[in-house]
Chain A
Amino acid sequence: MNYLWVINRLVPDSYRLSRKTTFCGSVGYPSPEVWEHMAHRQGGIVKRIVVRFEESRDETNIQVLFRASSADAQVEELMNRVREPFVGSLAVVDPTGSTVLLPLERIASISSCNKRLKVLAGDETYWLKASLQEMEQTLVPNMFLRISRYEIVNLRKVRRFDFTMSGTLRIEFDQGAETWASRRYIPAIRQRLKEGS
């Protein structure tokens, strides 16, 4: 984790350093418009974020210091993002057409459907206009894994794997939903689970 990674995890899109912004503003940090909307909805004020890098050759760790007038929701969110690198959220569209921020840990699977991506989180379905390849490049380190040409699943949401009599790999999620994967991805799943354990 280098300083560029830390900075890019914190700043809104307009301040990102050498980071290609893809869909809905960004993955992991809400776009300034979404953040402002959420802050106003919660009655808060959106503070400007100033990011500074200080080189310290003697420092072996990365020290992140948050300085603000109070530890409000915005500061807490930023601190959580740094404290737990894999906590993030995805800006998706809910069935009513509103854009919402969906925490990554709630997502069970993302599959392609009619030129859009269907995001399954619990019993709810959301939509996202992006490509599966973009999601794979962004989400893979967060225990998301591609299990077929059309689907990425969150391994943390998987309850169990099953190999059926017909010879297909069935994946059961915690909330009861299930999906099917190709046998070809078994080695990749095994490797990812080994890394995760």
Chain B
Amino acid sequence: MAVKLFKRAACGFVLGMVVGALMVVAISFASGNGSLILPAKLLKMTGTEAGALLAHMLASGAYGAIPMAGTLLYELDSWGLLKQVVVHYASYTAAFMCFGTACGWIEPNLVDMGIVAGVYAVCHCIIWLIMYNRYRAEVKRLNELLAKTKAP
């Protein structure tokens, strides 16, 4: 389990770094002024664009590691699907709140945090609905097969 956790976290870290870098590139291109657009808080903390980019990528990586490692929750046999989705959502959101406010991705106010929590809640509701309906269909199939098995 520990090895699995480490592998997933490592994978999430790399993916997070890549996504973080791509976002900086995309936003910078979209702005059109020819320079890298980085969070002001990071620029202030590190003093240089390179330092800010590195900090941003490391924070993105760490933020990616947490939800990826959190997917192991779905493999806990003793937990129901709802509990797994709720705990995953909580860890996901809490991680973003921490890294987001620390790196200046969002402002530390209720509105920004509320929007983030709300968007993630909608995403996880969709995840739960899809998985729930899929398993309901599978269980319906089980009952049909059970009836066939018991038929005289």
A186 touches B145 (CB 8 A): no
Q: Which residues of B contact A182 (CB under 8 A)?
A: 77-78
Contact of A190 among B136, B138, B150 (CB under 8 A): B138
Chain B 74-85: CB-based contact to A (< 8 A → 1; otherwise 0): 010110111111
Binary flags per residue of B138-150, CB closer than 8 Å to A gives 1, else 0: 1101110110111
* CB–CB B135/A163 < 8 A: yes
Residues in B neighbouring A186, C-beta threshold 8 A: 135, 138-139, 142
CB pair B142–A161 under 8 Å, yes or no, is yes
For the complex, is A194 an interface residue (Cβ under 8 Å from B)? yes
Q: Which of B112-135 contact A (CB under 8 A)?
A: 128, 131-132, 135
- A80 interface residue (CB < 8 Å to B): no
Task: Say yes or no: B148 contacts A197, CB within 8 Å.
Answer: yes
Instruction: Give Cα distance in the complex from A189 to B143, angstroms.
Output: 11
Q: Which residues of the partner chain A approach B150 to less than 8 Å between Cβ atoms? A: 156
Chain A residue nearest to B148 in the complex (CB): A197
Residues of B within 8 A of A193 (CB): 142, 145-146, 148-149
A167 contact from B82, B138, B141, B143, Cβ within 8 A: B82
Interface residues on B, range: 20 to 34
Contacting A163 at CB < 8 Å: which of B75, B83, B139, B149? B139
From residue A145, how far is it (CB to closest CB) to chain B in Å?
Answer: 11
**A184 and B77 within 8 A (CB):** yes
Q: CB distance B138 to A166 under 8 Å?
A: no
Give the Cβ gap from A23 to chain B, nearest Cβ, in Å.
26
A-side interface mostly: mixed
Mark out the residues of chain B between 38 and 55 whose CB falls within 8 Å of any chain A CB in the assembled complex.
none
- The residue on B at minimum CB distance from A183 is B135
Within 8 A of A (CB), among B8-29: none
Q: Given that A148-B77, A182-B77 are contacting pairs, would A161 and B143 also be in contact in the complex, using a CB cutoff of 8 Å?
A: yes
Min C-beta distance of B83 to chain A, whole Å: 7
- The answer to whether B146 touches A163, judged by C-beta atoms less than 8 angstroms apart, is no
Chain A residues near B146 (CB, 8 Å)?
A: 155, 158, 160-161, 193
Q: Bound complex: CA of A174 vs CA of B75, how far in Å? A: 30
Listed in ascending order, the chain A residues whose CB lies under 8 Å from chain B are 148-149, 155-156, 158, 160-169, 182-184, 186, 189-190, 193-194, 196-197
Which B residues form the contact surface with A (CB < 8 A)? Answer: 75, 77-78, 80-85, 128, 131-132, 135-136, 138-139, 141-143, 145-146, 148-150
11 more A-B contacts (CB under 8 A) besides A160-B146, A186-B139?
A155-B149, A158-B146, A163-B138, A163-B139, A167-B84, A167-B85, A167-B135, A168-B81, A182-B78, A183-B81, A186-B142
CB<8 Å pairs between A and B, sample of 7 = A158-B146, A163-B135, A166-B80, A167-B135, A168-B81, A184-B75, A193-B148
